[in-house]
A and B are shown apart, each in its own frame.
Chain A
């Protein structure tokens, strides 16, 4: 049984956020991979863009930062130089500049540092799963998937638990700024010019900047060493301390990008359990925990694409990409490419190798939080499958209205305890 079947007619508009409210248009991606692997989309909201949909091409381009720059924006939307300067994080820089920030934050998110959190994550899973499963029928995104990354964020930031719902709400308003359930300032539906200089075109960005500033001042004044974030505030081996701007931008990135992505990975995993019944018993054998988290994250692909900008003209598949053209690397499509994945619409917890691109593998911007994401997904599903005998859909699930973040925002399920 397949988990989910795409419903688009094969000619979906990739520039339309509404398209993705029905789930990623995988019939369209399959056609593009087959017939038009470098495809142009005209867009009424700005300059048109190229879409790259084959796994092989995406890996090649994603590793070539000299040709494919991140420094002119990483989403479909156009950005002036002033906006770029005001809003950028290190996601929007190229090597070697990218490395200057990356080395300051990489240690805190390294595999060995993150591994220390396993017991804490397991305790959080106990706290989350026991009451959620008692409900019998529940929205698994709201009660389970949203909870773990949010509470881990508190451990990372060293912030009080009571601040977390506010932070996550603001993070969602930044990143899901095309879904009316998550923001009052829907990017493509309202006049957002007043917010153009703010992070992610959103007043939520300004509020998060202020929170980050106060948090940093407070921590410095108190000598507070709580949370992973503290590691980032310490001077590096060269004696350099992270600048206030770098810290503020990094903080927004953590709250926005680091939070909903793991949420939607967990949600997609629960969706798979509900629609592919053999998966639960496969996971319950305990034999697949080395591979299952990456397969769940492949299935989810929360970052649907990242955009690059061509730094010079180049030819590909018989077409000419011009200097300055926007090029969208559709990780979502690559992760269903049957040239790389057998039976890509089946969730196979033993899949090896699993060359998915959910973390942007193959390029300098590979996800900083990937070890944390993998650990959270593994521990959450270890704890979940222990506790249940069955999970079934309790109504249709709803996808986020966004062509950038792919996620199930509402996932009604009924669980039968073990």
Chain B
């Protein structure tokens, strides 16, 4: 599948990667700056925070209780389309998804 990350300076990174990764792993594998994932995708660090593009927000679903709480821990503000990208599983339904990397 394919995804695009829009960096805080407007630069875009588009990459293809295997289904089955999560979006943090995909970002790290493609050297997307600002998506770190220090806890390895275990919902413990909030360093993979992204804003899901509004057009895709319905398809990614909503954060569960723990993710919602951890979004308050992230460096950038917790907004309506905030997600920890380790909790978004890549797959056909999200092919072409656009994610914004927060300014920190």
Contact = CB atoms under 8 A, between A and B. Distances in A.
A159 to B, nearest CB: 24
Interface in A216-233: none
Contact of B45 (A96, A98, A112, A366): A366
Contact of B66 (A59, A99, A359): A99
A18 interface: no
Nearest to B74: A110
Contacts of B65: 238
B97 interface: no
Contact of A364 (B44, B69, B75): B44
B40 A363 contact: yes
B75 A366 contact: no
B29 interface: no
B87 to A, nearest CB: 12
A322 interface: no
B70 A106 contact: yes
A239 B41 CA distance: 27
A96 B66 contact: yes
B72 interface: yes
A65 B44 CA distance: 13
Nearest to A370: B38
A167 B33 CA distance: 41
A237 B71 CA distance: 12
A402 B45 CA distance: 28
B40 A362 contact: yes
A112 B38 contact: no
A55 to B, nearest CB: 13
A240 B100 CA distance: 32
Nearest to B31: A353
Contacts of A238: 65
A63 B41 contact: yes
A75 interface: no
A307 B69 CA distance: 28
A95 B72 contact: no
Contacts of A95: 42-43
Given A103-B66, A103-B70, A111 B75 contact: yes
B42 A106 contact: no
A406 to B, nearest CB: 21
A106 B69 contact: yes
B54 interface: no
Contacts of B15: none
B69 A112 contact: no
Contacts of A178: none
A62 B38 CA distance: 12
A359 to B, nearest CB: 7
Nearest to A236: B69
A107 interface: yes
A365 B69 CA distance: 17
Contacts of A110: 46, 72-75
A237 B70 CA distance: 12
Contacts of B72: 107, 110, 237
Nearest to B66: A99
A366 B45 CA distance: 7
A103 B69 contact: yes
A410 interface: no
